Structure 1
Amino acid sequence: MELEPANPQRNSACICTCGCNRVVSYPTRRAHVAAKRAIAGEAEHAIDQPQPLRDTNVVAGRKRRRLTFFGDYYEEEQIDGSDFPPYRDDEPPQANDVNSPPFHDQEAGLRSIHVDTRNQETIAQRWSSSSRPIPGSSQREEEGLDDDEAEDSEDSSEDWEDNNDLNDGIGEHEDRSEEGAEEEDQSERNEDENEDDSQDGANENEDSEDVSAPCTDIVSISFWDRISDELAYKLMTTGLSLDSSDLSMLRQYALKVEDHLTESTFVKFKFAFPESHHHTLRITKRHIELLSEFHSIRYSCCINSCVCFTGLYNDLTQCPNCKEDRFNDRGQPRKVFDYLPLIPRLQAMSANHQHATKMRYRAHFVHQPGVTTDVFDGSHYQSLLSKLVPGSNNNNPFYHFSDERDIALGLSTDGFAPFKQRNKTCWPIILFNYNLPPDIRFQKQYHLNVGTIPGPKKPWDMDSFLWPLIQELIQLEIGVKAFDAVSKSVFLLHAYLILVFGDIPAIALVMRMKGANGCSPCRVCKIAGVRGTNSKTYYVPLRRDQVPHSNPPRYDPSRLPLRIHNELMDQAREVQSAPNQTISNQLAKQYGIKGIPILSTLSAVSFPESFPFDFMHLIWENLIPNLILFWTASFKDLDHRDQGYTIPPEAWKEIGASTASCKVTIPAAFGAPVPNIALLQSQMTSEMYSNWTLFIAPIVLRGRFCQPKYYQHFMKLVGLLKMCLEFEISGEMLDVIDQGFQAWVEDYEKFYYAHHLNRLSACPLTVHALLHIAWGIRVAGPVWAYWAFPMERHCNSLLPSIRSRRHPYASISAFVVAMVQLNQIRLKYNLFSELNLNVVKQGLLKNEFIPHSYPSFKLSPPRRQQPLSAYLRDKLQAALATRFEEEKTTIQALIDLDGPITCYGRVTLLDGGDTIVGRDMVRQCEDSRDASYIKYIQMVDKYAHQPRREPVYTKRFFFGQLKQILVLKLPSIPQLALDSPSAIVYAVVQSVKVTLTNNLYSYRDMGAIQVIDLNTIQSGMSTAHDE
């Protein structure tokens, strides 16, 4: 029996008596009971029969329950029930708002149809699921299996997919786990604790729920079709707030999740902070799920992660690939895949005023023809604007992105190894919201992780894991009811997937392409591959006249036969409807595609326009590392003797030492320091390869090749890469990029492939893909809009969550679900600041200063009051004379510079700019990274060498080292047109005498001291010593 204390404290917990039977605080229980009585009648009238919207098979005895918000009260229902729209209280409605129904477009009513049938028809028509073959138990691919095995063994070597990024996230968390694993007893104790922490007592192989459902297992909008707009508006605007006990619980749980604290550490909170109220972790998790109204959907999958038992495999009891049983002896799934629904999260974003305002970026974006600045400048997005959404109401058809609230999405996936051995991989699937501004779009808090495919192997059928996501995306094409916090109206929310990106093996899985194991290995064009000697990999040189029976003998890089969506889908249908597996395998090898991908069911996805090549893997993880293998005579088994591209070993050691020495001359803002590339190349990450290629290699490689043409060839590549990374790319620049890569690839084949049959392996798919970079920019926008850096950061953020080496994938899933629930709560209750546990800098710190006339600069300590030297005082007087256009003697008479002057040692360029230090003011340690060099602009007389000619001033860039910053606080001086006191800020800079060679600035000696206006500083600079 539950005993209620005589004087219940506000933070005390009790069992709610409204019918939900949940552990809540006393004020929350009173609110539940009172609100239920007040609105019970209205809710019954609005909702006929609340039916579950997901057909889920929940194992008996393991049914979880959740609390659903009905206006002013909560009602308990099964967790497989309908998802309600997100609640927000950031802007309470006005008095007349609640009484009057919100604005609702009549079009929304016409489009508001049930999509269960629509999903089945769409997938049947566009995906042809009924004709897709399922391999029998005895029938296996004769040649296809070998090819698939070759994808595992040869994609990394023959196709240059080294996947060095798998090393990026292996840090000290991994080391600690492995060291702990060496001590068996300690490992057992740690795992017992961590299993409870990551899985809430659930075992990955025991007591797992199997809620795999047939094709109708989707989030329906039937609830919204039965509810009136007026009541929906009340549901969205009811002013329910969280009490102090809820906020305390949320902060504790956020700290535990975000900092990856163990359960034992969480238990110690009540001893470390006895004045605060604490709950057990189990109660806390249950309450978090109640507040977020969010949970994952669990599907059973193969123990080897071959398939997820959805769609075509829903009724199977064995894996169609490895033949492993789906269930254990107790009838429970042996492994599960946790899917995180997308629609409730998009609804929560739209219902939060702050987030919904940010998502108006796409609607306010202005496309300028001939200029590429974002994904919305790409021809693929522009073509969707005039394309009708299939299946829309015939009486009221609508176009893609016809509403300013329509959301553009991008999907990325990649495999990463959770352990150093790299013999096991898991595959996160994340979405990016392109409606957000580019400066926040790829930040971790805006990632939409919809699930992590558990290892230990890569998926055999990726479509089976994408099945639940595709169902939601098809529903979002038709529209789901949501609340817009900006216009305070109910509307139909649409979202369209427009881009999919990742490395070549990952996209081959998603597109069901053969990749380098098919006769047409490229996913963008139909170029015929040439099979290497004793290899199953197909290579793609432009010139193949030395290859027997080659037709054509040479390809023109400017006229490659591009793939077309309809033609590719026709080929996929032909492969899928082949009479037997042998013919299907032959057609797949010929066409390069294994069957109809499930992504083809989405109207905004076009093959290959929606699948541009990932710039990060293509360049930093493949091209540059393998060029280094050529230079060090280590590329595969080719004969590198007497080749002009090789660098002697001693010279390469010097290059490595020079690279390591650049650590102290390149500011930390440029990225992680690059190690000795000759000794520690295995530690190189994509970011390091990027910095080395763009900033260091042009310096340390100069003069190292026996023949200068190889260095010039590399410098052309650097110039093209820098153009690709520009924030704004004009049509002329795009033509230069396109023609530049065409010429570069032809020269590459001449220098490295040498048109010899025995050197075919020098022409992998990743070199050919360079010819499609300009195509990708034209079609999908700039390369940064679809490169894999955000995915790599996401994978690295998952590594610390692996608290159990026995069940690493369950640990990752538990962490992701917890993060999503916290984000839902932030959105629903507008708790961004309350749940932000990071130190937030408010305003300026002590002695920081933003001059009124220099709003783009912030001055920071060290700060001193000191007199100027005679030499510097003379320079400052000359600068003032130029500024006020007066004689130097006049300045000396009007402005006293003999006394102490305020000096600062740091300046920060605001709005994401660099922080630059003054070398004379900031002490430089031995291992400090130098951030004192700057780039600045000066107006220079074009005819300075002709004194009698009228001056014509032009802008010129200069470089120098910042010494200190001077702040002159001047009183009103009518003679100098200073009517009020003002501050003038000057930077003392020691210039450098640079020379420009091969688009590379170099210097030997420092120049004279100059005093320049602070506004002329453009950015910080890095330097590298060339020994």
Structure 2
Amino acid sequence: MRHPVDSIAWDTINHKWPAFASDPRNLRLGLATDGFNPFGDLSSRYSCWPVILVNYNLPPLMCMAKENLMLTLLIPGPKQPGNDIDVYLEPLVEDLKELWDIGVETYDAFSKSVFNMKAILMWTINDFPAYGNLAGCATKGKFGCPICGEGISSMWLKYSRKFAYLGHRRFLAPNHPFRQKKKWFDGNKETKGKPRPLNGLEILNVLKDIENDWGKKKMGKDINNTKKKRKERDGSKKGLLLRHNLDVMNVEKNVCENIIGTMLNLKKKSKDGVNARKDLRNLNIRKELHPQEKGENMYHLPAAPYTLSKKEMDVFCSRLKKIKLPDGYSSNIGNCVSLEERKLIGLKSHYCHVLMQQLLSVALRSLLPKGPRNAIFLLCAFYNELCQRVLDRNRLEQLEENIAETLCMLERYFPPAFFTISVHLTIHLAREARLCGPVQFRWMYPFERFMKMLKGYVKNRARSEGCIAKCYLAEERMRFCSAYIKKAACIGLRSNQNDDLENGVVEEIDPYIQMHIEELKQIDRRFSTHGPRKHVISYTGYIINGHRFHTIDVGRSTQDSGVSVEADTIWQSSSTDSHTVGRQSYYGVIRDIVLLDYYFSKVPIYRCDWANPGTGIKMDDGFTLVNLHQGLRTFENDPFILESQAKQVFYSRENDESNWYVLLKAPPRGIHNMDLLEEDAYTSSKPLDVSRLKINITEKEPYSRNECEGIDVIDIP
């Protein structure tokens, strides 16, 4: 799946409403809304809410581009609308109902005809708090998961004073060995099956006899009557497989903050502490981790499996501080690392995304005991595969099983306080991807960038919404007029050309295509007769297919010189082994970029230094390691590769004394390559091979770390 058109949800609409699906010009829309401060600062005292529609009829590269997002409403601040958002959405809802029930006459510029265009709202896209406001679902408390509903396994923690969402063994197969384990979890066997999400018709039947007092009482009956219309609208969507999306961006960020805050014991971010340990004592589980009283309000907390020692914290922070990332992959994450305080600060959503995708696994190599470390590795691998631009439906079914097992492994090691609603929502993300397609079309990143653009329109703090609306509409008019004028000029040019032709209409060839046709005509002559010019031009950088390549330069703040190539070759593992024929991966760095001039076209090639495939590459704990010092060499007969063969990689050094670097793959930015091979499409940026991570199902692994110092804390009642 590369686009929502490949999803089960799209196919369901085609099956249920064939008349609607018969005309591909009928629109399929998604609706997103979120609050932002239009003044550009970090204060949350002012919240302005744009309501944005996205058109899924467009191809992948254009679908989520900010110029194709439609600003339909702008809900003014300074306070967020909360549950009253229905009042503001009412005009838009009426328009959408008209587009679905009746349609609107629309001019088709391609066929030069008028047709009746209809539209369907496929789903909404929001962060989790806005999910509750827009969908009218509970997003906190005992039934905090809108997908599980009353079937969720939640637990009130007496000392942490919050709900924990555990019980993920219910999502495992009935014969899974984890279901029989008592000491690892809550002291009981698990016999329940996983909860089944309610469909739209079931939700409608549950709600039809309920009378809710919507809105604020002081605002009168008008708002209450308006709010009650929500039931009618939900009824019109009862045939959809998924009505509201969980936002992978915010879920991933919250999970990342939970892990890092707990491992580094960050104040107000850690899910461990005196109260979390008292909850373990209250539940009578993991006695090795119970708090030890040392005096009045003084406690000693033994080191848990997820606790990093001070030395391990230094290694973890140092790896993140020193890593250099490819240009365009991410901002310098080292700016968020404080080596002195041993903590990460100012982590924004994209930093957490990059950490969960690749960097967290690399930074944790050889740190922590194997059990909790592998659990974190598997969780990161899940998010990495979930966020690939190309998804395999069959593989997503396996992911649904894997994430249940991974969350159970986390339950074994981490305290119940760790399992906030965001950690639990991870269990549903693979299912939603299987139903609706890649997450890039259903998360908040494009809309966050769109709202950042809207902030730039605000020049007057007293009239912020007016500035946004006025400037946005002006820019839309300018873009439309510019495109219209260009189109009209092209039509006029073709008309003038046709006037000179005796036979009237001719097929016009794109000049770009015509140029390549001429190149193809000359290709045999070019290579067989002339060859390239004797003099070449050397470059230090080259941009292709969303990657920026540079020659190796230790002074750069980014790392763009890493390169890999795959080739069919013959190799011998040792002198006693026979020769093997197959596809071999080579890893190295770019030393020079040369542009060969073949008269009719120019061909860039890279001269590289390659790691020895025999002694310079090895596998360790699921990671590929490359020796970029002793193992690096130049193949005298074949140091060059074509730029079309090159795939960009980057490296993270184990430590300052080691010659070995962990290999990481850089995904292209802003490119939706439709020509990717299927086997490469959903493995383009995986940092480790999870098949090498084995799950230990013995009960001999201790819960406390004797080699790691504990924590002395003061508990003030």
Normalised by the length of structure 2, the TM-score is: 0.69
How far residue 482 of structure 1 moved from its aligned partner, in angstroms, is 0.6
For 1:914, which of 547, 562, 568 is the aligned residue? 547
For 1:769, which of 425, 429, 447 is the aligned residue? 425
The aligned residue for residue 1007 of structure 1 is: 632
User: Within 2, Cα distance between the matches of 1:612 and 1:899?
Assistant: 59
The aligned residue for residue 357 of structure 2 is: 694
Distance 1:1018 1:558, change over 3 A: farther
The aligned residue for residue 35 of structure 2 is: 415
How far residue 499 of structure 1 moved from its aligned partner, in angstroms, is 1.7
User: Within 2, Cα distance between the matches of 1:762 and 1:667?
Assistant: 33
Asked whether the equivalents of residues 401 and 407 of structure 1 are also in contact (C-alpha less than 8 Å), the reply is no
Distance 1:970 1:400, change over 3 A: closer
Distance 1:750 1:552, change over 3 A: closer
How far residue 805 of structure 1 moved from its aligned partner, in angstroms, is 2.8
User: Within 1, Cα distance between the matches of 2:443 and 2:162?
Assistant: 25
For 1:669, which of 328, 334, 338 is the aligned residue? 328
Distance 1:789 1:554, change over 3 A: farther
Distance 1:596 1:999, change over 3 A: farther
| Structure 2 residue matching 1:609: 3-state secondary structure | coil
For 1:1019, which of 620, 641, 647 is the aligned residue? 647
The aligned residue for residue 467 of structure 2 is: 811
How far residue 491 of structure 1 moved from its aligned partner, in angstroms, is 0.1
Q: Does 1:468 align with 2:91?
A: yes
Asked whether the equivalents of residues 934 and 1020 of structure 1 are also in contact (C-alpha less than 8 Å), the reply is yes
The aligned residue for residue 120 of structure 2 is: 496
Distance 1:456 1:964, change over 3 A: same
Asked whether the equivalents of residues 204 and 231 of structure 2 are also in contact (C-alpha less than 8 Å), the reply is no
How far residue 518 of structure 1 moved from its aligned partner, in angstroms, is 4.9
User: Within 2, Cα distance between the matches of 1:829 and 1:986?
Assistant: 41
How far residue 575 of structure 1 moved from its aligned partner, in angstroms, is 2.5
For 1:542, which of 160, 167, 175 is the aligned residue? 167
For 1:519, which of 126, 133, 143 is the aligned residue? 143
Asked whether the equivalents of residues 391 and 437 of structure 2 are also in contact (C-alpha less than 8 Å), the reply is no
User: Within 1, Cα distance between the matches of 2:533 and 2:24?
Assistant: 61
Asked whether the equivalents of residues 659 and 676 of structure 1 are also in contact (C-alpha less than 8 Å), the reply is no
| Structure 1 residue matching 2:19: 3-state secondary structure | coil
Asked whether the equivalents of residues 596 and 604 of structure 2 are also in contact (C-alpha less than 8 Å), the reply is yes
The aligned residue for residue 244 of structure 2 is: 611
| Structure 2 counterpart of 1:987, one-letter code | Y
The aligned residue for residue 448 of structure 2 is: 792
How far residue 414 of structure 1 moved from its aligned partner, in angstroms, is 1.4
Q: Does 1:964 align with 2:589?
A: no
Which digits, 9 at most, give the CA deviation of each residue in 1:667-720, with x for residues without a partner?
Answer: 212122213444374422222222233332222221232x12222111112222
Matches within 5 A, 1:420-439: 420-439=42-61
User: Within 1, Cα distance between the matches of 2:588 and 2:192?
Assistant: 43
Distance 1:970 1:596, change over 3 A: closer
Asked whether the equivalents of residues 512 and 595 of structure 1 are also in contact (C-alpha less than 8 Å), the reply is no
Asked whether the equivalents of residues 378 and 780 of structure 1 are also in contact (C-alpha less than 8 Å), the reply is yes
Q: State the structure with bigger RCO (CA 8 A, min sep 6), 1 or 2.
A: 2
Asked whether the equivalents of residues 600 and 606 of structure 1 are also in contact (C-alpha less than 8 Å), the reply is no
The aligned residue for residue 202 of structure 2 is: 567
Distance 1:484 1:661, change over 3 A: same
The aligned residue for residue 530 of structure 1 is: 155
User: Within 1, Cα distance between the matches of 2:44 and 2:441?
Assistant: 29
User: Within 2, Cα distance between the matches of 1:524 and 1:501?
Assistant: 19
Distance 1:793 1:578, change over 3 A: closer
How far residue 962 of structure 1 moved from its aligned partner, in angstroms, is 1.0
The aligned residue for residue 216 of structure 1 is: none
| Structure 1 counterpart of 2:566, one-letter code | I
Q: Does 1:780 align with 2:443?
A: no
How far residue 525 of structure 1 moved from its aligned partner, in angstroms, is 4.8
Distance 1:932 1:613, change over 3 A: same
The aligned residue for residue 652 of structure 1 is: 313
The aligned residue for residue 66 of structure 2 is: 444
The aligned residue for residue 387 of structure 1 is: 16
How far residue 431 of structure 1 moved from its aligned partner, in angstroms, is 0.9
Please identify, of 953-962 and 802-811, the stretch whose mean Cα deviation from structure 2 is larger.
Answer: 802-811
Larger strand proportion, structure 1 or 2?
2
User: Within 2, Cα distance between the matches of 1:821 and 1:735?
Assistant: 45
How far residue 742 of structure 1 moved from its aligned partner, in angstroms, is 0.6
Please identify, of 779-788 and 373-382, the stretch whose mean Cα deviation from structure 2 is larger.
Answer: 373-382
The aligned residue for residue 497 of structure 2 is: none
Distance 1:465 1:831, change over 3 A: farther
How far residue 556 of structure 1 moved from its aligned partner, in angstroms, is 7.0
Which digits, 9 at most, give the CA deviation of each residue in 1:143-201, with x for residues without a partner?
Answer: xxxxxxxxxxxxxxxxxxxxxxxxxxxxxxxxxxxxxxxxxxxxxxxxxxxxxxxxxxx
Which digits, 9 at most, give the CA deviation of each residue in 1:895-919, with x for residues without a partner?
Answer: 999975554433332xx33121233
User: Within 2, Cα distance between the matches of 1:649 and 1:599?
Assistant: 58
Distance 1:953 1:1003, change over 3 A: closer
Q: Does 1:742 align with 2:374?
A: no
The aligned residue for residue 564 of structure 2 is: 935
User: Within 1, Cα distance between the matches of 2:649 and 2:193?
Assistant: 37
Q: Does 1:622 align with 2:254?
A: yes
Which digits, 9 at most, give the CA deviation of each residue in 1:340-383, with x for residues without a partner?
Answer: xxxxxxxxxxxxxxxxxxxxxxxxxxxxxxxx222122222211
Which digits, 9 at most, give the CA deviation of each residue in 1:562-609, with x for residues without a partner?
Answer: 222112122222332699x99xxxxxxxxxxx9763683574565771
| Structure 2 counterpart of 1:787, one-letter code | W
| Structure 2 counterpart of 1:767, one-letter code | V
User: Within 1, Cα distance between the matches of 2:302 and 2:262?
Assistant: 11
Distance 1:557 1:701, change over 3 A: farther
User: Within 2, Cα distance between the matches of 1:748 and 1:596?
Assistant: 42
The aligned residue for residue 132 of structure 2 is: 508
Asked whether the equivalents of residues 319 and 363 of structure 2 are also in contact (C-alpha less than 8 Å), the reply is yes
Figure out how many residues of one structure are paired with residues of the other and give that number: 558
Give unmatched runs, 5+ long, in structure 2. Answer: 170-178, 218-226, 278-300, 491-510, 656-717
User: Within 2, Cα distance between the matches of 1:458 and 1:504?
Assistant: 15
Q: Does 1:643 align with 2:272?
A: no
User: Within 1, Cα distance between the matches of 2:75 and 2:110?
Assistant: 36
Asked whether the equivalents of residues 241 and 435 of structure 2 are also in contact (C-alpha less than 8 Å), the reply is no
Asked whether the equivalents of residues 991 and 1008 of structure 1 are also in contact (C-alpha less than 8 Å), the reply is yes
The aligned residue for residue 728 of structure 1 is: 390
| Structure 1 residue matching 2:652: 3-state secondary structure | coil
User: Within 2, Cα distance between the matches of 1:814 and 1:852?
Assistant: 48
Distance 1:399 1:962, change over 3 A: same
Distance 1:536 1:554, change over 3 A: farther
| Structure 2 residue matching 1:399: 3-state secondary structure | helix
Give unmatched runs, 5+ long, in structure 1. Answer: 1-371, 389-397, 583-593, 754-758, 835-842, 856-882, 885-893, 972-980
Matches within 5 A, 1:241-390: 372-388=1-17
| Structure 2 residue matching 1:421: 3-state secondary structure | coil
| Structure 1 counterpart of 2:607, one-letter code | V
| Structure 1 counterpart of 2:194, one-letter code | R
Between the two proteins, what is the percent identity of the paired residues?
A: 18
State which structure, 1 or 2, has the greater radius of gyration over its C-alpha atoms: 1
For 1:987, which of 602, 606, 609 is the aligned residue? 606
Asked whether the equivalents of residues 143 and 150 of structure 2 are also in contact (C-alpha less than 8 Å), the reply is no
Distance 1:898 1:406, change over 3 A: closer
How far residue 641 of structure 1 moved from its aligned partner, in angstroms, is 3.8
The aligned residue for residue 297 of structure 2 is: none
The aligned residue for residue 56 of structure 1 is: none
Distance 1:902 1:601, change over 3 A: same
Which digits, 9 at most, give the CA deviation of each residue in 1:293-329, with x for residues without a partner?
Answer: xxxxxxxxxxxxxxxxxxxxxxxxxxxxxxxxxxxxx
CA RMSD of aligned residues (A): 4.1
